[in-house]
A and B are shown apart, each in its own frame.
Chain A
């Protein structure tokens, strides 16, 4: 099974998903991420899915779960770089990822986190 690398940048964690997501990989990512967030005391998590071309309902739901989990651990999560086809698929599946923050690319994701943390110190 492939593991998704979790990179640390200041008090942010950057998760760049470069592989095709299967259920096991996503579940492993969820567990790894929870541990790293706690261990490093991260305040923000950016999940970059710009290389992901295919999502299913499980992956979509897991993204929401991961974001929710990060919030519980006092870290803001942002999903960045979602491709149009992926966005359309998720909407057609009825998943609008209510509580998840999104940004067009990594740069805007970082800016969004700065903005959010500026507003809520």
Chain B
């Protein structure tokens, strides 16, 4: 009866002696660059000779392989199949040298390769997950600008569906801007919000109340007819919060409140000319 160590030594010897041959066959079946596979093969060989305990290096290498192949447009199934290909490549050598120890070694080896193949799949999924999360974060940052309309008047044009996470970001950003700029009037424009339900309305109300607590007045603008209809049907009370149908009306309201005079009526077209030197 031979020990695990013997089996591993024997397997290691076999892999080392026939390295060239196995790698050639593996390269044929796996459709991957030879030098990459050689590197991987040597890492596997090292791991086996060390008793298969420390797989950190090997995993790093596999994660790198998984990423580079994902970038090159391979599916995760193809990548893991390429790793599994090593079993087939080694099998022929094992058959030629068949004895008890080698066969047992091969079973252990196959198990290791299975793990590694599955690991490439995992690494692929992880990389994908990270990309999606990064993009969601970027989207969140992109979608909530706070713009200054006038001295003391800021606006938040909201575009897209509002959920709790986004409203939280909008709320924080708006309040921080109020502190930074000392603006006393804020316009929340919801022209680009496709639908308003009780939750969204709740978030809007919270934002307005928080701004009020800090000493700024909020006007909600851009309420389209359907949305006004929905809000009334849902029975949402906006109370004493000023709502306007368009951003222009909201701006006019803010002007009045802050004492800015605009000469000419709303029909007047304002023209700005550069002063002549």
Chain A interface residues (CB < 8 Å from chain B): 79-80, 82-84, 86-88, 90-92, 96-97, 101-105, 108-109, 112
A90 touches B216 (CB 8 A): no
Can you give 26 A-B contacts (C-beta < 8 A)?
Answer: A79-B213, A79-B215, A80-B215, A82-B213, A82-B215, A83-B179, A83-B214, A84-B172, A84-B210, A87-B175, A87-B211, A87-B213, A88-B171, A88-B206, A88-B210, A91-B210, A96-B212, A96-B213, A101-B215, A103-B215, A104-B179, A104-B182, A105-B182, A108-B182, A108-B184, A109-B215
B172 touches A88 (CB 8 A): yes
Number of contacting residues on B, CB 8 A? 18
CA distance A103 to B185 in the complex (A): 11
- Residue on B nearest A86 in the bound complex, by CB: B213
Known: A96-B212, A102-B215, A104-B184. A88 touches B178 (CB 8 A): no
User: What is the predominant secondary structure among interface residues of chain B facing chain A?
Assistant: helix
What are the residues of chain B within 8 A of A86 when measuring CB–CB?
213
What are the residues of chain B within 8 A of A101 when measuring CB–CB?
215
What are the residues of chain B within 8 A of A97 when measuring CB–CB?
213
B209 at the interface (CB under 8 A from A): yes
CA distance A18 to B213 in the complex (A): 19
B146 to chain A, nearest CB (A): 12
B171 touches A102 (CB 8 A): no
- Residue on B nearest A89 in the bound complex, by CB: B210
Of the candidates A80, A83, A88, A103, the one having the most CB atoms from chain B within 10 angstroms of its own CB is A88
CA distance A96 to B212 in the complex (A): 8
B13 at the interface (CB under 8 A from A): no
Contacts A79-B213, A87-B214, A104-B183 aside, 12 further interface pairs with beta carbons under 8 A come to A84-B175, A90-B210, A91-B206, A92-B206, A96-B212, A102-B214, A102-B215, A104-B178, A104-B179, A104-B182, A104-B184, A109-B215
